[in-house]
């Protein structure tokens, strides 16, 4: 009799210590909500990291190209365009100040005598659009070298502020570029969920003194 009552009491305590079906469902629902919130937070963290990494990569590449371009302008011995050309595509325009040329390219003659052209190619060209290109015509002839140097360029405008030297020849007083760059499709990380804001870069420099 005593043994039966003791077993009965133990079974009642076991049932009291367990979870009912309703309690189990509530706990599962709470756990699911917590896991969902955790996953959303982790996903947002990955998205932010990917966006920051891609933005930093784009800025670094753009800065390197701009620095190289400004160095070329400073060390070159001749520059262009210094005259407007309405027949070019797009046209090379003389601005209202009468001394600044606006164009989609700039040409340079480096100390080795190579003719260098940096140009922006958009959808109107027959090559891959939205890129900054480098074209080199070596001194003394030889094969022309052509290659893209920066992708994701949605807009780029060159300004050549000209002046007359002591011999009455037009020379470059100051060269500038106004360029907008977005992350290139080839470099976009799969973790990114939204487009990155474009990066606008404006740079200007003067060549060494040309009399």
Digit-coded pLDDT (tens) for 104-141: 999 999 989 999 999 998 866 555 578 899 999 998 88
Q: Per-domain residue ranges for the chain?
A: 58-205
The Cβ of residue 198 has, within 10 Å, a number of other Cβ atoms equal to 14
Sign, Cα dihedral of 119, 103, 74, 57: negative
Q: What's the confidence (pLDDT) of residue 30?
A: 87
Strands 131-137 and 93-94: unpaired
- State the pTM of this model: 0.74
Would you say 79 and 172 are in contact if contact means Cβ atoms under 8 Å apart?
Answer: yes
Per residue in 39-59, pLDDT (tens digit) is 888 877 877 777 777 878 888
């Amino acid at each position: 009799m005593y043994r039966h009552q003791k077993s009965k009491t133990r079974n009642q305590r076991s049932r009291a210590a367990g979870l009912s079906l309703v309690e189990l469902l509530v706990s599962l629902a709470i756990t699911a909500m917590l896991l969902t919130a955790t996953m959303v937070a982790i996903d947002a963290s990955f998205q932010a990291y990917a966006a920051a990494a891609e933005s930093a990569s784009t800025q670094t590449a753009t800065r390197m190209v701009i620095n190289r371009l400004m160095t070329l302008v400073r060390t070159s011995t001749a520059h262009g365009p210094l005259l407007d050309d309405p027949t070019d595509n797009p046209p090379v325009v003389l601005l209202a100040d009468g001394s600044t040329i606006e164009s989609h390219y700039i040409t340079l003659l480096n100390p080795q005598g190579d003719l260098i052209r940096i140009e922006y190619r958009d959808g109107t060209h027959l090559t891959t659009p939205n890129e900054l290109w480098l074209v080199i015509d070596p001194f003394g002839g030889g094969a022309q070298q052509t290659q893209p140097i920066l992708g994701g360029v949605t807009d780029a405008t060159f300004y050549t502020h000209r002046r007359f030297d002591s011999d009455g020849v037009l020379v470059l007083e100051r060269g500038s570029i106004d360029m907008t760059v977005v992350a290139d499709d080839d470099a976009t990380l799969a973790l990114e969920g939204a487009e990155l804001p474009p990066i606008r870069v404006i740079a200007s420099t003067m060549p060494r003194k040309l009399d």
